[in-house]
Chains A and B, each alone.
Chain A
Amino acid sequence: QQPVQSPQAVILREGEDAVINCSSSKALYSVHWYRQKHGEAPVFLMILLKGGEQKGHEKISASFNEKKQQSSLYLTASQLSYSGTYFCGTQLKEYNNNDMRFGAGTRLTVKP
C-alpha cells in the first residue's frame, strides 16, 4: 500500500532542477508532499486532490496524474534550503480517504 518514490537520493548544485516521482499501484484520492530536515518534523508542502492538478509553492511545484496513479514534485533553481528528505503521502480511493501511507523518501542534497 505504500507508494514508491524515485529516485532514492539526488545531489544538486545550487540553481539546478530536480524531479521526484511518486507512484501507487492503486487508485489515488490524494497525494501529499512533505519535506523533512534532519532531526526535525516533516513539514507539509502541498496536497493534490484532482487528476491533472498542479500546485506551486515558491519554486516547488507538483503535478498529479490520476490515470497513471502518480505524482511528480518539481524543484526549480534549487537553493541550499531545499536540502532534506522529501516524502509523498497517498490516500487511496478504496479506503474512503482515511489514513495516509508514505513513500520511503527521497534525500535531496543541494551543494553550493
Chain B
Amino acid sequence: DGGITQSPKYLFRKEGQNVTLSCEQNLNHDAMYWYRQDPGQGLRLIYYSQIVNDFQKGDIAEGYSVSREKKESFPLTVTSAQKNPTAFYLCASSIDGTGGYGYTFGSGTRLTVV
C-alpha cells in the first residue's frame, strides 16, 4: 500500500541536541511538506519542497533544516537553535506543488525535550 512513513513515532531529545525526523513516501508525489502541530494552534508550515534538491521556508522555519536529495525522502532536523521543539510533527505529500488533489499525511512524530 502506498503512503507516508514517519519515524520514530516518539522521540526524546536532551536540550542542546540536534535530532532528525524521518519522512519517506512511496506515492511518487513530487511535493512534500513539514508541519508542526501544537494544541490549539492547528498545523503550522515549517518547510516544503516541490521538487528534488529544492525547498522553501514556511512560516516557522527558524531552528529547523531539511534536505530533499531523493524524491521519496524529506527528513527534518530539529536543531538546538529551536527554542521550544516539543510538539507533534507531521509530514505530508501531494502529487504536485499545486496541492490540487489534496495532501496525504504521515502518522506523525511526537518530539519531547527532556
Contact = CB atoms under 8 A, between A and B. Distances in A.
Interface in A74-112: 87, 89, 91, 97-105
Nearest to A40: B107
A97 B95 CA distance: 13
Contact of A42 (B56, B100, B101, B105): B105
Nearest to B91: A41
Contact of A41 (B99, B100, B102, B105): B105
Contacts, number: 68
Contacts of A47: 99-102
A10 interface: no
A99 B96 CA distance: 11
B25 to A, nearest CB: 12
Contacts of B58: 99
**9 closest Cβ pairs, A-B complex:** A44-B102, A41-B105, A104-B42, A102-B43, A97-B98, A102-B42, A42-B105, A41-B107, A105-B42
A98 B97 contact: yes
Contact of A98 (B35, B43, B50, B104): B50
A31 B90 CA distance: 19
A49 B40 CA distance: 27
Contact of B102 (A2, A32, A97, A101): A32
B53 interface: no
B42 A87 contact: yes
Which has the most chain B C-beta neighbours within 10 Å: A32, A89, A99, A101?
A99
A102 B40 CA distance: 12
Interface string A37-62: 00011111011010000000000000
Given A87-B42, A87-B43, A102 B35 contact: yes
